[in-house]
Structure formats: structure tokens, C-alpha cells
Structure 1
Amino acid sequence: MELTHAQIDDTSHGYAPLIRATLPQTQSPVWLATRYDVVKAALGDSRFVRDLARVPGAEGGGVAAELLDEAGLPAEYRQYLEILVLVDGPEHTRLRTHVMRAFAPRRIAALRPRIERIVQDVADEIVAKGGEFDVLRGFAYPVMTSVICDIIGVEGADRDQVSGWIRDYESGEPDRFLPGIDHLAAYIDGLLDRRAAAPAEDLASDLLRSSAEAGPDQQLTRQEMIALVFLLINTGIAPPAFFLTDAVLTLLDHPEEVAKLRAEPALLPRAVQELLRHVSAVRVGATLYATEDVELGGVLVRRGEGVTSGLLAANRDPGTFAEPARLDLSREAARGAGHIAYGHGAHRCIGAALANLQTEVILDQLFLKRDSLTLAVERDALERIGFAGDGTYPMALPVRI
């Protein structure tokens, strides 16, 4: 589902603040928020929660549970996808606090030289092999995997094996993805044991240190640590890799904007933000549930009803962005009206600074340090893959450098 305002009509606003919809592969109808102001209001309102169980009188697990049921994920594995993502309030704050140090902007900025080396090494290897590659599997995945492994503390000798388990998990194939989870969880458990004996400057050590220093009611259990690291591996590879691939395709589709960027390289940080607005790293946000009756965008949302944020639609809202369908790498957002591709409020993406930096370094390598990137197939030969409750992304992007 990739709704933009061109697909939504309302006689009073030109587009509807909320529309009733049922997301693909789910059964429960929700309110789909599509306007920037409405999405931002919902994401920042504590009367909306992600955990339906926190709503008095609510039944069932909500949209997230239906998507996991559809994926065939057994209940005992859901902790790895639900931790942080589907918790609210003080419990969410407790968990998030323990991982924030590793993703603090200053610490992420210090990673730039290491990320630049990783990107350069991947590019050099591609050139040595003839210069034709798939942006998704041949560039984005190796870079994102190496970076998140560095942050977490995965030893160099283990990375190929860990990458294999990640691919098993992300395959979605029943005989691969559950063993992939099991292997990754066991590896993370062992990594935590090693870091307990010999701490290092990595996230695994941070979690152990932070928990040990916390009060009794703020500490993490070992299982919570394992689940947090698993979630960060999962969200630190596939989502930024798919976004990067779509961003590269978008630039190839807009050569005039690439020329503008090459003429003024200092625009690169702003260009990354415009690509996030134009493409959106995540197209549809997690469903929020009203804990009481709430008026949202002039619509009464009853207690227990779900509101799903159309992040791509919000980022293309003509009420907020001039000519929203146009890619403009020199676009400067009005104060307080930047894109919300990373969400907004308490659940804003922890890895936003890292994703910005990785995208900036990779685009610098592919478009500024080089000027020869082209598609290796016809444009209409590219195929996209859909993800339940989110949107579609390129299955592959074959290019030549």
C-alpha cells in the first residue's frame, strides 16, 4: 500500500485527513491518516499506543499480530520483532534508554571514517569484478551489514556466518527463517557472555554496562538484551538497504537533479533529506490505538480503534510541501515541517543519524566521486516486491559503474 494524495480525494480539503481502510493481509479495519498535520499529531499524542492490550476492554492482538500470523511466525519468536516496536510509555523508555548511547549523533558521526572505508572497499571490489552489480544485494546489503556488525560488536571472523543467518531469516522461507532466528539469538547470547568477560566499545558491551548501572526496576534481562540486539540487526540492514536502492533509482530517474548535486556537492546532506521525503524509508507506520475517544483531523476516533500513519502520503502532502511530487535536492523544509520518514515522537527511529550518514557516504561514492553510474537493464524491466502493511521496494537494481 503506497497511497499518496493523488489517490485520495475529499471535497473540503482536496484530500481526506482519515480514511477507513483495511491493510493488505489483515482483517481489522483502521483509520488511515494521510495528511502531514494529522499523522504528526497522532504520532505525538500519548493517548495513542502501539500495544492494543493497553486499551481497556480491547480484544485481540491488532494489526501487528495479524501480520505476524500471516507470516507464520510462532508466538515464542515474536519477542524479537515486538520489543521496543510494540511497547509504550515507561516500558518503552526503559528499553530505549539502554540502546540510545550507541546511536547518539556524536558517536555515529565518529563512525564516518570507518563507513567511508567500508563503502570504498565494496566499490573497489565491484570495479575489480567488472563494474556491474545489484545495488541492493551487491552494495547496500554488504555495507549495512558491515556497519551494524561494527556497532554491535560482531567479530570479523563471525560476520560471514552472521550474514548468512540474517539472509536465512529475511528469506521468509519457513525452513530457513526460524533456524535463522535461532542461530542469531544463540550467537548474540554467546557474544554477551564474551563481552561480560571482556568489555569493548560496542553495543553489546553498552547493554551490559548500562543494565548493571541501572536501578533494579530499570535493568534488562538477558532475553531482553538478546531481543534488542536482534531487532537492531534486523532494522539496521534491510530497511536502510531498500531505501538506499530506491534512492539510487530515484536519482537515476532524475539526471537533472544529479547534475545539480554534482555542481554543488555541499547539497548532499540536504539531498539525503529530500530523498527521504520523496521516497520515505518506511511507507506506512505501525498502527496506533486510541486509549480513549480522540478527535483527530476533525474525525472522532473511538477508544480501541486503530490509526495507521501513511508516512509516504504525509511526506507528499501539498498542504505542507510545495510541489510535493517533484524531487528537488535543494529543497529546504520550513522550520518544524521536515519529513517524517523516520516517524515522529517517542518512537522516532533510533537509527536515523546512522541511516543519514550511510546514505550520504554511499551517494557520495556512487554519484560524486564517480559520474558513470547507469542502469544495466531497461527501466521497465525492474520489478518491485511488496511487504505486508508497508509498500513496495525494488527487488533488485542492476547497474554499471
Structure 2
Amino acid sequence: MEGGGVGAELLDGAGLPPEYRQYLEILVMVDGPEHTRLRTHVMRAFAPRRIAALRPRIERMAHQLIGELAAKDGEFDLLHAFAYPLMTNVICEIIGVEEADRPKVGGWIRDYESGAPDRFIPGIDQLAAYIDGLLDRRAAEPAEDLVSDLLRSSAEAAEGQRLSRQEMIALVFLLINTGIAPPAFFLADAVLTLLDHPQEVAGLRAEPGLLPRAVQELLRYVSTVRIGATLYATEDVELGGVLVRRGEGVTSGLLSANRDPGTFADAGRLDLTREAARGGGHIAYGHGAHRCIGAALANLHTEVILDRLLLRDKRLTLAVDREAVERVGFAGEGTYLTGLPVRF
């Protein structure tokens, strides 16, 4: 895919080889008709009705994994032993990754996310090669999965709206990447938040019908992605009375917006009974044309997992002192849990 504009210049300036730029650019750093063209091909797989139909499979995955962990000694790292493998299985199920291949797909994403020079590029290369082969297999034998959808959608599209092979690979790469780590970190933070607020959990157990509302409140309160992607001006523009010149960046504080006292009463307090406004009443998924494609999926698996971990079973507790739970900070992004030791 050919890139251009300020975003491309910035990636070039970072020293990233041009052939790898597409994996960071696609959807995220394009706008207008080009963004619409790419997003349209993906949206069918994430339509709310289709996502809702995944509930039984996600419930089975969660139940099986919890059973395996509980059968050992009942103590495990909720982030690494539960959230990561579960999110890997869920997104791979949607995309069409064969079950036997899912552990290595998760490993390649870990390599990519590490940022380590000796792991970053090989992680991209190996996952991209795997996706290329998966496209070949689905072209020969279509299935009910996202890769088959992309092939069908592109073949049926009008001239100029079709996807190139490289765009398909980059889109699938993006969906695997964003479908594993962000929801895994959110889930761990959401569980920790609930363990920190036992009175809220007791209220939710008394009224389990509030669970969908509680998920939206946790998204608002936790805001795992606390800083939005930096937006770069393509021309001089005045924003809030400040002149932003071409090439300059503007960063949005998602956590700050989600704790805005002008929008939320008692904004700093977790309230699982809080009635969410349309769209969730928060911007944890972003906003507008770039709002997270997987929002409906994230809502679903969070509901399923919290129901299984905390509502149906009341034994889950921290396996360490609260002060021993560690976080790591990333400049400009906030902090993330390094793990969450829990026990049944």
C-alpha cells in the first residue's frame, strides 16, 4: 500500500524500513474516502448481530480455560495465563486462524509488541507470511471467517474499491494485534478494579442484569488506553484558540475526558449502576470514524468473562498483597499491569 502525507513522513523519520510502514499506517493513519474503503471491508465481520452469535463459543472458551487453571492449584496470573490466551483464541476464531496455529500467532504478536530490535521485525515477517498463506488457503476453501469475508468482499467490490493483497495482510495483522493486548490489559485492570470495590461487586451480584451497564462504566473508569493516538495537522489550523502548524501533533487525553466532571457526576467514583449515555457515554473506544471496530466484541467478551469470574463464582481474590501488584509505565501512554496473580 502506498502511503503519503505527514504520517508517512513521520514513520520514515523514525527509521522504519518503508516496507513495514503499512502495518502501522493502515486504518490508523488514513482518513476520508481511503479510510472508508478499508474499513468497509472489515465491518461485516464485526457487525453486532454476528458478534452476538459468538457468545456461546466465547463462553465455552472461558469456561474451559478457567477449568484448566482451577484444576492445577487454583492460583494463576490472570493477565498472562488467562486474558492473553483467551483473547488470542477469540480473535483468531473470528479471523480464521487454525487452532493449532494460535499459540505461535500469539508469540509473533508478543515479539512485535516487544519493540526489541531482534524480535520486532521478525515478528512482523513471520506473522505476515502466515497471513499470506492463510489467504491462499481460504481462497481455495472459503469458510465463515474474516479472511474469507475479505476475499469475497474485495472480489465483489467495484473497481477502485477492492483491496490489494498487501492491504488484506496489513488489515488482518492490525486486527490480530489490536484484538489481543488491549482487551487483555483492560480485562486485568477491570478485574483488579472490581476486587478493589467489593461493595460494587456485591451490588452487581444482587442485580446481574446491570452487567452490560457495568462494563461501560468500567471502560470509562479504567480507560486502559489513556492517551489517544497523536493527530498531526496536515495544514495550519486553529484548535481551541491555539494555532497548530502543519506537521505539529495534538494528543488527546482519553482518561481525562472520561473523568470529566462536566460530563459525569462524581466522575472519579466507580458506579456500576451509572446509566450510560448513547455510545457508552465514554470515549474509551475512541470517537467518530476511527472508533474501535471491535467495540461490540470487547463488550461481549468482557460481559462473559466477568460473569464467569465474579458473578457465578464468588471465590476469586488477589493472590498477593494489593501493594505487591506491579505496573510499568510507558512515556505518553500511562501505566499497565505487569501481571495479576489471583486465586480461586
The two structures have a TM-score, normalised by structure 2, of 0.94
Q: Distance in 2 between matches of 1:334 and 1:110?
A: 25
Cα distance, 1:82–1:137 mapped onto 2, change above 3 Å: same
Cα distance, 1:146–1:336 mapped onto 2, change above 3 Å: closer
Displacement of 1:54 in angstroms is 5.8
Q: How many residue pairs end up in the alignment? A: 342
Q: Deviations over 1:215-246 (max 9, x none)?
A: 12011111110010000000000001011111
Check whether the contact 1:169–1:177 (CA below 8 A) recurs between aligned residues: yes
Q: Distance in 2 between matches of 1:380 and 1:73?
A: 39
Cα distance, 1:181–1:290 mapped onto 2, change above 3 Å: closer
1:263 aligned onto 2:215: no
Identity %: 79
Displacement of 1:345 in angstroms is 0.5
Larger relative contact order, structure 1 or 2 (CA cutoff 8 Å, min sep 6): 1
1:157 aligned onto 2:95: no
Displacement of 1:78 in angstroms is 2.4
Map of 1:120-199 to 2, 5 A cutoff?
120-199=63-142
Check whether the contact 2:12–2:18 (CA below 8 A) recurs between aligned residues: no
Equivalent residue letter for 1:329: L
1:364 aligned onto 2:316: no
Q: Deviations over 1:16-66 (max 9, x none)?
A: xxxxxxxxxxxxxxxxxxxxxxxxxxxxxxxxxxx98269xxx952xx777
Displacement of 1:387 in angstroms is 3.2
Match for residue 305 of structure 1 among 232, 248, 259: 248
Equivalent residue letter for 1:53: G
Displacement of 1:389 in angstroms is 3.0
- Between 263-272 and 159-168, report the one with greater CA deviation: 159-168
Map of 1:199-238 to 2, 5 A cutoff?
199-238=142-181
Q: Distance in 2 between matches of 1:352 and 1:152?
A: 16
Check whether the contact 1:384–1:395 (CA below 8 A) recurs between aligned residues: yes
Cα distance, 1:90–1:176 mapped onto 2, change above 3 Å: same
Match of 1:282 in 2: 225
The two structures have a TM-score, normalised by structure 1, of 0.81
Match of 1:47 in 2: none
Equivalent residue letter for 1:185: A
Q: Distance in 2 between matches of 1:325 and 1:133?
A: 30
Match of 2:339 in 1: 396
Equivalent residue letter for 1:239: P
Check whether the contact 1:144–1:241 (CA below 8 A) recurs between aligned residues: yes
Which aligned runs of 4 or more in structure 1 are off by greater than 6 angstroms?
none
Check whether the contact 2:316–2:343 (CA below 8 A) recurs between aligned residues: yes
1:53 aligned onto 2:5: yes
Match of 1:104 in 2: 47
Equivalent residue letter for 1:132: E
Q: Distance in 1 between matches of 2:41 and 2:278?
A: 30
Match for residue 332 of structure 1 among 255, 269, 275: 275
More helix by share: 2
Check whether the contact 1:281–1:342 (CA below 8 A) recurs between aligned residues: no
Helix, strand or coil: the match of 2:251?
A: strand
Q: Distance in 2 between matches of 1:209 and 1:336?
A: 30
Check whether the contact 2:135–2:147 (CA below 8 A) recurs between aligned residues: yes
Q: Deviations over 1:118-159 (max 9, x none)?
A: 000110001111111111101111110000010000112222
Match of 1:117 in 2: 60
Match of 1:48 in 2: none
Q: Distance in 2 between matches of 1:336 and 1:373?
A: 31
Q: Distance in 2 between matches of 1:65 and 1:102?
A: 32
Displacement of 1:313 in angstroms is 0.5
Q: Distance in 1 between matches of 2:331 and 2:12?
A: 12
